[in-house]
Amino acid sequence: MSSVHVSTKINGDPTEYVCEADETLLDVLRNRLGLTGAKEGCGTGDCGACAVDVDGGLRLACQETIGALEGTFVTTIEGLSKDRSHPVQQAFIAANVPQCGYCIPGVVMAASVLLRANRNPSEADIKDAIPNLCRCGIYPRLIDAVQNAARIARGDAPAPEPGQDAPTPAQSEP
């Protein structure tokens, strides 16, 4: 396999590589750049753990070869916000959506791409746009959290105050 020279912007930073043309975006992010938010779950394009934003669309980093990404803008969970202040992150934290957290970066990226295109998604829209697999079972909280993120993004709901997150399950037990 021949080496290629690739220029992209990753999380706003111009980045240049000489790499194998068939090297995956996920390998570049995790192994070359130390951006380990995107996870490898299945490696076959089925789970969504590796999802990132490429030019405003959701892409599975395990299925993208870096050689095909010349001139693109890539945003990972590390670039979505510096302080977890994106509406999706705020809503997910407030609703205790994450459990083990392994799949969450991909879910957050899928939700952020959805909200950019659809500011008032229905349950069906969310299920269609976020097919990510989660073995912890975040699904009961996911729909409400994404719709709350949409309200925050539209300015129809206040962002949760720091320290006013929803109680953890252990705290809410009698």
If the CB atoms of residues 58 and 95 are measured against ligand FES, the closer one turns out to be 58
**Least Å distance between CB 65 and ligand FES?**
13
Name residues contacting ligand FES, limited to 109-128 (CB under 6 A): none
Distance of CA 12 to the CA centre of its chain: 16
Cα–Cα nearest to 75, from 67, 170, 86: 86
HEC letters along 47-71: CCCCEEEECCEEEEHHHCEHHHCCC
Q: Which residue from 21, 42, 117, 136 is in contact with ligand FES, where contact means CB under 6 A? A: 42
Give the strands of the sheet with 57-60, arranged side by side: 13-20, 3-10, 73-75, 51-54, 57-60
Q: Which residue from 40, 96, 99, 102 is in contact with ligand FES, where contact means CB under 6 A? A: 40
**Least Å distance between CB 52 and ligand FES?**
10
60 belongs to the binding site for ligand FES (CB under 6 A): yes
Binding residues (CB under 6 A) for ligand FES: these are 40-43, 45-50, 60, 62
